[in-house]
Amino acid sequence: ETGVTQSPTHLIKTRGQQVTLRCSSQSGHNTVSWYQQALGQGPQFIFQYYREEENGRGNFPPRFSGLQFPNYSSELNVNALELDDSALYLCASTNRPGGWETQYFGPGTRLLVL
């Protein structure tokens, strides 16, 4: 059984640029959630994708967007990067979108915005 994987592991961008982060869900999982973890903070829910559609969203602006593909993998896109977007971005997968089944987290992508 393959766990949740994320790429890249680290990324450096400049303010105003755009970034795409990728996540492959655990085998058999059809739902992917994204979280942002700023330094010294707990993760904050960005959004969840199920059946290639956004299924729920936290308090993040529209410049945070996502995609889910037929193989359940997912992308997080952030436009017009700001310095405060510097964080660890975590992807989590589960096998059911509407409940509180255990979410399995990937190792994260650390984004630095200069």
Partner 1 sequence: AQSVTQPDIHITVSEGASLELRCNYSYGATPYLFWYVQSPGQGLQLLLKYFSGDTLVQGIKGFEAEFKRSQSSFNLRKPSVHWSDAAEYFCAVGFSGGGADGLTFGKGTHLIIQP
Look at residue 100 and give its three-state secondary structure.
Answer: coil
Is residue 96 a contact residue for partner 1 (CB under 8 A)? yes
Assess 62 for contact with partner 1 (CB under 8 A): no
> Does 43 contact partner 1 by CB under 8 A?
yes
> Nearest 10 degrees: CA dihedral of 49, 51, 56, 62?
60
Judged by CB under 8 A, does residue 31 bind partner 1? yes
- Is residue 90 a contact point for partner 1 (CB under 8 A)? yes
DSSP label at 71?
T
Give the separation between CA 80 and CA 63, rounded to whole angstroms.
7
Q: Which is nearer to partner 1, 61 or 107 (CB)?
A: 107
Binder among 24, 29, 87, 106 for partner 1 (CB under 8 A): 106
56 binds partner 1 (CB under 8 A): yes
101 binds partner 1 (CB under 8 A): yes
Q: How far is the CB of 15 from partner 1 (least distance, A)?
A: 26
Query: Of 43 and 113, which has the nearer Cβ to partner 1?
Result: 43
CB burial string 34-72: b at 16+ within 10 A, e below? bbbeeeeeebeebbbbbeeeebeeeeeeeebbbbbeeeb
